[in-house]
Structure 1
Amino acid sequence: MSDPQHCQVITATDSRAVAETLADTAVAARLAASAQVAGPVRSTYWWQGEVVAAEEWRATFRTTVTRYAELEEHIRARHNYDVPGIVCMPIVAGYAPYLKWMAAETKER
């Protein structure tokens, strides 16, 4: 298998409105071909020396590996957390027409 060209990027926030804004603006900027907002989800994590449990909304973006850095910056600039969790996972296989569509929709114009 060759190096992945497509990826999913995930972040979470404590606000549905922020998650939706992140999704809408990333797609409008063509940094992601699509985005989904799901939630609420319960997250448990270490923060400032304590275990915290919180309700969050997850935003998942589908994009190309070449657009990841710009998408990350876009998310960081609009996120309401000091240290947002932004994770990029390669898509190693997928339905070819869908992957082609992703590449076309995220192509710089």
Structure 2
Amino acid sequence: MTECILGYITTPNIEEAKQIAKELLLDKLIACANIYPKVYSLFWWKGEIDKSEETILIVKSKRNLKQKIVEKVCSMHSYECPCIIFLPIEDGAKPFLDWIISEVN
């Protein structure tokens, strides 16, 4: 296992995803971000099934920055309860993983 992580964040639209990604990059909390616009989400919310078009933000970073990423995203996010989760990167191309580590604080 590497010290690298993949973060998965949902946002209500591409503009919010871009702004969050830009701020995370400026703060050197992530090495890069991918934005997937217009996904259709179904979910439980306040006891009912809800639906929404959302934008997915995928970020690459290091494990020790997870809490700072959560704090930054929550401070900017328009959702009451934003989806912010992390997955460990088990393995990958060493030059790419080294690049992630070199680009974040």
Do they fold alike, i.e. is TM over 0.5? yes
Q: CA RMSD in A?
A: 0.9
Q: Does 1:49 align with 2:47?
A: yes
Q: Give the aligned residue type for 2:15.
A: A
Cross-structure match for 2:37: 39
1:5-24 aligned within 5 A: 5-24=3-22
Query: Does the residue aligned with 2:91 lie in a helix, a strand or coil?
Result: coil
1:87-102 aligned within 5 A: 87-102=85-100
Query: Does the residue aligned with 1:9 lie in a helix, a strand or coil?
Result: strand
Q: Give the aligned residue type for 1:103.
A: I
Q: Give the superposition deviation at 1:53.
A: 1.2
- Structure 1's consecutive aligned runs of 4 or more residues displaced over 2 angstroms after TM superposition are none
Aligned residues: 105
Percent identical: 25
Give yes or no for contact 2:13–2:37 (8 Å, CA) kept in 1. no
Query: How far does the alpha carbon of each residue in 1:25-74 deviate from its partner, in whole angstroms, 9 at most, with x for none?
Result: 10111000001111100011000111011100011110000111111111
Cross-structure match for 2:75: 77
Query: Does the residue aligned with 1:38 lie in a helix, a strand or coil?
Result: strand
Task: State how far apart, in whole Å, the 1-side matches of 2:43 and 2:61 are.
Answer: 27
Q: Give the superposition deviation at 1:4.
A: 3.4
Gaps of 5+ in 2: none
Q: Give the superposition deviation at 1:6.
A: 0.5
